[in-house]
Amino acid sequence: MDNKHYRPDIDGLRGIAVLSVVGFHFFPVLLPGGFVGVDIFFVISGYLITSIILRELASDTFRFHRFYARRIKRIFPALLAVLYVTWIIGWMALLPTEFASLGKHIVGGCSFTSNFLLWSETGYFNAEAEQKPLLHLWSLGIEEQFYIFFPLALWLALRLRTRPGALIWLLFALSFSGCLYATYTHRSVAFYFPFTRLWELLLGCGLALSEQQRNDLCEKSQLQDGAPRFSGRFWTPSAKDAASCLGFILFASVMIGLSTHTAFPGLWALVPTIGAALCIFAGNDAVLNRLALNNRLLVWVGLIS
């Protein structure tokens, strides 16, 4: 995101998401629901990518090759380093059968199909999953699968002068319905499949689209009236402060209150994702965003993630 539109509070929120997942794996008793950090991360990713695409489409500077080149530059250096170091350690420390399995997961990481590979082998919360050093790449696989089709779908919707909001919320409803069904019938499918996780990314996408539409309406009103009647906002600072506080309460409560025995994602996944959406909606100047999410350490963790 360019400096003009950069929001350090979103990187701080991303830092909380990353640290909560790390805390879940290292201190599961203290943070039994820390795995919801991935759900927060999905909302952030959907919001940021859609915001960037919409701004570039509005200025007629969006190009698919540049979009994917940025993704490659951002992801591949760190990804390849992680895969290479893991391969070296595995070659020295693992048994032949374990090393062969690691090879499959390295290929899955390179091809962004780790989520399907893990689904075919084990569930995320099973004991054997903890022995897989590349377990964390399942969420990257879902994100990259999303990035393959969503920019094209959004571009087509805008070029054909259809309503992109209708497309986003229709896909959201279908994906969330599939997630609810699969959570209680095929939990691993609900956890690892892109379609049952799509709604979390789309929540961020819908938030970015509604934000752009509000800004466009504000600009239109200012042009018509000759005065900045809305000043770019439809919500009062106190309302955004309340949204920020409620967002924190929602995702903090599930980080502490959920466990690996909870039927997840399902309905419970709404709590951290709505919490993340509220914090993003509140803006950088909202009380907890300003006091907590702008913390330099959290922003740094978010930036390197």
Of the pLDDT bands very low, low, confident and very high (cuts 50, 70, 90), residue 219 is low
pTM: 0.90
Query: How many domains is the chain partitioned into structurally?
Result: 1
pLDDT of residue 157: 87
pLDDT of residue 252: 94
pLDDT of residue 36: 96
Range of the domain at 295: 3-304
pLDDT of residue 121: 80
The owner of tokens 């350690």 is 89
- What gap in Å lies between CA 231 and CA 226, rounded to an integer? 12
Per-residue pLDDT of 33-81, as tens digits, reads 999 999 999 999 999 999 999 999 888 898 999 999 999 998 999 999 9
Half-sphere exposure of 114 (CA within 13 A, CB side): 25
Of the pLDDT bands very low, low, confident and very high (cuts 50, 70, 90), residue 84 is very high
Average pLDDT on 225-244 reads 68
Asked if the model's pLDDT at residue 31 lies above 60, the reply is: yes
Per-residue pLDDT of 269-299, as tens digits, reads 999 999 999 999 999 999 999 999 999 999 9
- What gap in Å lies between CA 165 and CA 154, rounded to an integer? 9
The CA-to-CA distance between both ends of the chain, in Å, stands at 15
Average pLDDT on 180-196 reads 94
- Write b or e for each residue in 200-216: b if 16 or more Cβ atoms lie within 10 A of its Cβ, otherwise e: bbbbbbbbbbebbeeee
**Mean pLDDT over the full length of the chain:** 88
Per-residue pLDDT of 110-143, as tens digits, reads 999 999 998 888 666 654 656 678 888 999 999 9
